[in-house]
Amino acid sequence: MAVAAERHMTVDELIAEGGPIKAKATFRSFDESTVEDFAAMQLHNDDTRNQVLELCLEHLEKLKHPQPASPVTRYEHSLQTATRAWRDGRDGDDDIIAAALLHDIGDFFSPHNHAEFCAAIMKPYVRPEVYWIVKHHEMFQGYHFFHHFGGNRNARDKVRGHPHFEACRQFCDDYDQTAFDPSFDTMPLEAFMPTLQRVFEKPKREVYDKVQDD
Ligand SMILES: [Fe+2]
Ligand SMILES: [Fe+2]
């Protein structure tokens, strides 16, 4: 059998053919790596399993942290944002529902840039419009309260005219900024799990591709 690398076989093709696959990769730099090396790692390492949803849910759980002075916890806010989107007829739009649920999961890890935190995680799994919404929601939310801090509530005007401006404005105006009502009939996380599982089942696109994101 010819050496797989000489045939420019891909990792998936080599595994499907059954080998030859090493027990362990032996390269010391990527420059000297072979397809057999990567097949070994893909087949024998257990960390290539997609754990993105599990980790997102762990971060969502952190948003239960008590905030006695706030109308609702950030966890309740997240579920309420998703519920509002769902009841607005977006229940069939998996990307939007996932974005509504997870858009604030970076609040602890990246408190001063939480929108980009979640956007980076979701980028491979959702359409470019939804990635853009998550990435810019912090600024669009500001229209509703930045002035209380002496900030510029019209900061979003910098991107007015962008193809996704209106979608982001609508997401924030109708779902995100309204989702602080303690008496709202919010749906439980379990109701959204099938949606989340579909979204994070596998990446839909390579983030290296040039797409209209920014
Ligand atoms: Fe946010
Ligand atoms: Fe939010």
pLDDT per residue as tens digits for the range 111-169: 999 999 999 999 999 999 999 999 999 999 999 999 999 999 999 999 999 999 999 99
Q: Are residues 34 and 57 in the same domain?
A: no
Q: pLDDT of 49-58, one tens digit each?
A: 678 999 999 9
Task: Note whether residue 208 is domain-resident.
Answer: no
Could you say which ligand is closest to the alpha carbon of residue 112?
1
Tokens for 93, please give them: 């739009």
Tokens for 50, please give them: 């997609």
Task: Note whether residue 213 is domain-resident.
Answer: no
Q: Which of 142, 133, 128, 118 is nearest to 207 (CA)?
A: 128
- pLDDT on residue 2: 46
Q: Are residues 31 and 58 in the same domain?
A: no
Tokens for 137, please give them: 């929601």
Tokens for 195, please give them: 């949606």
Q: pLDDT of 84-106, one tens digit each?
A: 999 999 999 999 999 999 999 99
Distance 21 CA to ligand 2 centre (A): 47
Q: Are residues 39 and 135 in the same domain?
A: no
Distance 203 CA to ligand 1 centre (A): 23
Mean pLDDT of the chain: 91
Residue of 61 and 47 predicted with greater confidence: 61
How many Å apart are CA 145 and CA 93, to the nearest integer? 28
Q: Which of 92, 57, 79 is nearest to 186 (CA)?
A: 79
Q: Which of 94, 102, 99 is nearest to 195 (CA)?
A: 94
- pLDDT on residue 63: 96
| pLDDT confidence band for 46 (50 / 70 / 90) | confident
- pLDDT on residue 1: 44
Contacts of 141 (CB under 8 A, 6+ apart): 172, 176, 177
Contacts of 90 (CB under 8 A, 6+ apart): 96, 97, 100
CATH number at residue 182: 1.10.3210.10
Q: Are residues 181 and 101 in the same domain?
A: yes
- pLDDT on residue 48: 62
Contact 136, 159 (CB under 8 A): yes
Distance 124 CA to ligand 1 centre (A): 20
Distance 132 CA to ligand 2 centre (A): 15
Q: Are residues 98 and 151 in the same domain?
A: yes
Distance 130 CA to ligand 2 centre (A): 14
The pLDDT of 74-92, averaged and rounded, is 98
Q: Which residues surround ligand 2, an ion (CB under 5 A)?
A: 104, 176
- pLDDT on residue 49: 65
- pLDDT on residue 5: 46
Contact 174, 95 (CB under 8 A): no
Domain ranges, residue 27: 4-44
Number of domains in the chain: 2
Distance 142 CA to ligand 2 centre (A): 11
How many Å apart are CA 132 and CA 212, to the nearest integer? 9
Give me the percent of the chain exceeding a pLDDT of 70.
Answer: 92
Overall pTM surpassing 0.85 (yes/no) = yes
Distance 103 CA to ligand 2 centre (A): 6
Q: Output phi, psi for 45, to 5 deg.
A: -80, 145
Q: Are residues 66 and 172 in the same domain?
A: yes
Residue 4 reports pLDDT greater than 60: no
